[in-house]
Amino acid sequence: MTIIPVSNETYISVDVETAGPNPAQYSLLSIGACTVHEPLATFYVELHPDQPDFLPESLSISKLSMEILAETGLSPVEAMATFADWVAQVTPPGNRPVFVALNAPFDWMFVNDYFHRHLGRNPFGHSALDIKALYMGLTGARWQETNLHRLAKRYQMEMHLTHNALQDAIDQAEVFRLILDEVRTTQAVHKKEPG
């Protein structure tokens, strides 16, 4: 069963890689995004660091280099403007783009901060949809049971976090679609049950 998206919402899966745990002190280094439903459209950008601080463990996970990004990354202003333009392009007229992420508070914190600081607005508005929370609500799972490995196992998928923002956005979009399918199936069963 393939879920049909709500007609006035465009779900967009977003993942980021950063130089550390918060945007007040550390730079956003890359953004990957894709539409959740077909047709698949993707976005990826690497940013010029706007702050010098970094945690070595953050860079070792993402394999990004502050020195290389200082030369090749887009300025935060240009990167966020490009991202906003892409969001507008993939969101049909009359639809609202909905930010979706696995552990959305982290990714949202950086994206929202950068949109407001460098663009003056966030095209997603002021909210995000967290895949982990949706899964907890659907299944009654505990928080520690919501990592990507467990979700992939439940839905019989072979995937692991790559820490490439685009690939991780694509993978989490696939998981999100499967969770939404299960939500719709569960709702349909409950509607058919005698009251």
Length of the chain: 195
Grouping H, G, I as helix, E, B as strand and the rest as coil, residue 59 is helix
Residue 44, phi then psi, degrees to nearest 5: -150, 140
Report the distance separating Cα 166 and Cα 43, nearest Å.
Answer: 7
Long-range CB contacts for residues 185-193, cutoff 8 Å, separation at least 24: 185/1, 186/138
C-beta separation of 21 from 55 below 8 A: yes
Identified catalytic residue from 37, 116, 118, 163:
163
Report the distance separating Cα 79 and Cα 32, nearest Å.
Answer: 11
Is 163 an annotated catalytic residue? yes
Q: In sequence order, what are the residues at sequence separation of 6 or more whose Cβ sits closer than 8 angstroms to the Cβ of residue 189? A: none
Residue 24, phi then psi, degrees to nearest 5: -70, -25
Q: Tell how strand 96-101 and strand 28-35 pair up.
A: unpaired
Packed helices 131-139 and 165-192: angle between N→C axes, nearest 10 degrees: 30
Give me the active site residues, please.
163
